[in-house]
């Protein structure tokens, strides 16, 4: 689905030198390299603070802890997401309240949020799924009206710009109280291992996030709150700092690839290409088709036989997962979510795709779909 090897070879000289520099310094944890990357990323991200951590899942967990969410509190989240978004709530004994996504954007439906608010609701967790932004303007208005926190799951959306109705823009992940992202290798800004980060513009929250990610430490060996151990290591920070300089070009390459796919699949009645909401630029972490009247699993196998990978993100929605039985997961009625889980299929999209590869993929998808 991605070609991180070719991408690495294009920046190999800089990456190798940066890694060797970390090895020679022997400062593997924390230090200047991590601090510099966090500063550079905060600037890019239009956020006052960037607090790196070990992965995107930890980022979400630490965000919930820093906001003081307690067992029994409720958070409103889409069910059509990667499990990490909601798993960490359950881990903290916070109840995930699953709601519908918009049938076009696949992101949390603001109209469904208001209906799900109860006296126990503390936060909304929009997910910028596949790189398309959730409607942050509507979500922030609802959050303000009901005094709720907003944690943006921006693991798939880093680099996207949300466009408000007055024409102003903000980076996704910088709009809610806390934004969380992942540097998993296949992400738009991917490390060569695990990594993640949290973003906020709030001074107090920044202190809490930093403290919780470091064993609840306010200063060395003074542990004020229960925290965890979640660090981005210096080797990953050095690599990410180089890749950050290329992030906009990486996004442009993904958008270009999406345009080629869109043209290739245009006007096919069985295929719906990704909707592009005008309120954001879509950074195409995934290129996901919606199929009607096509045996998706047979298509996936047909493509695999031609050497073309395809993935189903996600075949089972969170509310249908066994792990949420205890939270009444199977009592939810989410027809749009269920409908999507049965029809989506993601094609390879990354910075190194060339047009010839894409035409081969398009031709094979169409051969199967049109048979």
Ligand X SMILES: Cc1ncc(COP(=O)(O)O)c(C=O)c1O
Residues found near ligand X in the complex (CB under 6 A): 55-57, 81-82, 84-85, 127, 153, 155-156, 182, 184, 194, 196
Nearer to ligand X, 194 or 241 (CB): 194
Six-digit token string for 360 = 């081969």
User: How far apart are CB 194 and ligand X at their closest, in Å?
Assistant: 6
Nearer to ligand X, 80 or 327 (CB): 80
User: How far apart are CB 185 and ligand X at their closest, in Å?
Assistant: 10
Which of 52, 66, 57 lies closest to 84 in space, CA to CA? 57
Pairing of strands 161-163, 169-171: antiparallel
Residues counted in the chain: 371
- CA separation for the pair 285, 271 (Å, rounded): 19
Q: What pairs with residue 28 in β-bridges?
A: none
Nearer to ligand X, 30 or 185 (CB): 185
User: How far apart are CB 155 and ligand X at their closest, in Å?
Assistant: 3
- CA separation for the pair 70, 308 (Å, rounded): 45
User: Tokens 């102003």 appear where?
Assistant: 168
How many Cβ atoms sit within 10 Å of the Cβ of residue 299? 18
User: How far apart are CB 319 and ligand X at their closest, in Å?
Assistant: 16
Nearer to ligand X, 56 or 348 (CB): 56
- CA separation for the pair 208, 229 (Å, rounded): 14
Nearer to ligand X, 132 or 364 (CB): 132
Give DSSP secondary structure letters for 141-181.
HHHHHHT-EEEEE-TTTTT-EEE-TTS-EEETTSSSSEEEE
User: How far apart are CB 269 and ligand X at their closest, in Å?
Assistant: 30
User: How far apart are CB 16 and ligand X at their closest, in Å?
Assistant: 24
Give the number of C-alpha atoms closer than 13 A to the C-alpha of residue 174, restricted to the C-beta side: 20
DSSP-H helix ranges across 245-333: 247-265, 296-305
User: How far apart are CB 12 and ligand X at their closest, in Å?
Assistant: 24
Nearer to ligand X, 153 or 338 (CB): 153
Nearer to ligand X, 182 or 364 (CB): 182
């Amino acid at each position: 689905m991605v070609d991180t090897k070719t991408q690495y070879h294009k920046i190999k000289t800089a990456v190798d030198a940066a890694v060797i520099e970390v090895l020679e310094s022997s400062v593997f944890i924390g230090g200047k390299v991590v601090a510099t990357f966090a500063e550079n990323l905060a600037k890019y991200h239009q956020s006052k603070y960037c607090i790196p951590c070990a992965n995107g899942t930890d980022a979400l967990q630490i965000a919930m802890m820093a906001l003081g969410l307690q067992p029994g509190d409720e958070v409103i989240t889409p069910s059509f997401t990667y499990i990490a978004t909601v798993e960490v709530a359950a881990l903290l004994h916070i109840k995930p309240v699953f709601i519908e996504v918009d049938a076009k954007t696949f992101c949390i439906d603001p109209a469904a949020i208001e209906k799900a608010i109860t006296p126990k609701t503390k936060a909304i967790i929009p997910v910028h799924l596949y790189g398309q932004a959730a409607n942050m303007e509507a979500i922030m208005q609802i959050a303000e009206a009901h005094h709720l926190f907003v944690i943006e799951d921006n693991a798939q959306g880093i680099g996207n710009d949300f466009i408000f109705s007055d024409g102003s823009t903000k980076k996704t992940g910088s709009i809610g109280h806390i934004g969380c992202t992942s540097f998993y290798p296949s992400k738009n800004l991917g490390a060569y291992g695990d990594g993640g980060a949290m973003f906020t513009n709030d001074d107090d929250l920044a202190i809490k996030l930093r403290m919780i990610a470091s064993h609840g430490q306010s200063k060395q060996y003074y542990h004020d709150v229960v925290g965890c151990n979640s660090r981005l290591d210096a080797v990953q920070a050095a690599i990410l700092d180089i890749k950050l300089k290329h992030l906009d070009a990486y996004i442009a390459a993904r958008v270009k690839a999406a345009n080629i796919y869109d043209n290739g699949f245009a006007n096919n009645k069985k295929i719906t290409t990704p909707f592009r909401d005008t309120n954001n630029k879509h950074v195409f972490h995934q290129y996901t088709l919606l199929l009607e009247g096509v045996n998706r699993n047979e298509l996936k196998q047909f493509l695999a036989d031609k050497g073309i990978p395809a993935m189903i993100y996600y075949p089972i929605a969170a509310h249908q997962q066994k792990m949420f039985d205890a939270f009444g997961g199977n009592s939810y009625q989410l027809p749009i979510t269920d409908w999507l889980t049965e029809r989506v299929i993601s094609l390879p999209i990354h910075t190194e795709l060339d047009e010839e590869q894409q035409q081969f993929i398009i031709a094979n998808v169409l051969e199967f779909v049109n048979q």
